[in-house]
Amino acid sequence: ASMGRTVVELFYDVISPYSWLGFEVLCRYRHIWNIELRFRPAFLGGIMQQTGNKPPAMLPKRGEYLLKDMKRMAKYYQVPLHTSGNDFQRILGTNSLAAMRFITAIDMTNPQYLEPLSREFWMRFWSKHEDISQPESILAAARQAGISTELSQKALEMTSSPPVKDRLKETTAEAIKYGAFGMPAIVAYCDGEPQLFFGSDRLELLGSIIGE
């Protein structure tokens, strides 16, 4: 790590609203804390399936609470995440696999676009309540992120290729290896030991452990 910076990895999926909150806060703090922030796009569906986890909103009371919580967190962190009563149906009815493969393809070919592209997908799904699963909506997000038609077309073709599929599978498996059971999964390397923080509400604890 450069200049004794603490490596902090963010495993995320753009379908996860709390991943967006964690992403934006870490993006702000990477200039304040002595950290090297690494984005690790992974597949939430794979993590849920392999760990036997269930969507938290399956418990109605918890679902009610989560909508209020997301609203408060969005306001507090000034992230334009707009909740609506049918958010959980939208999540359950949307497969983020194509989007996460596309993001992975961009990460492998043009990583400088990884941050704006990921943000654009969250904006699309959580701010504008638009689709992120169809090729045309994926290309629209890429366009908004400033990616040329040529590059995004190439990345879209790569989404069905073994290297991209394998890379996403490997990243997802790595998150599980660190103990992840949901998103976001934040891994900080303290004294060479990886420490897992789940969710976007443990960031002050993360700061404290890395000496910030």
Active site residues: 16
**Cα separation of 79 and 73, whole Å?**
8
By the 8 A CB rule, do 140 and 152 touch?
A: no
Q: Which two tokens stand for residue 122?
A: 């969250």
Considering Cα of 18, then 20, then 23, then 25, what sign does the dihedral take?
negative
CA pair distance 173, 150, nearest whole angstrom = 31
Sign of the dihedral through C-alpha 68, 70, 73, 75: negative
Helices (H), the chain: 17-29, 44-51, 60-77, 87-92, 97-109, 114-122, 135-144, 149-158, 162-177, 203-209
Distance CA 55, CA 91 (A): 9
Name the token pair of 162: 């073994």
Give the C-alpha separation, 168 to 100, whole Å: 8
CA distance 19 to 91: 13
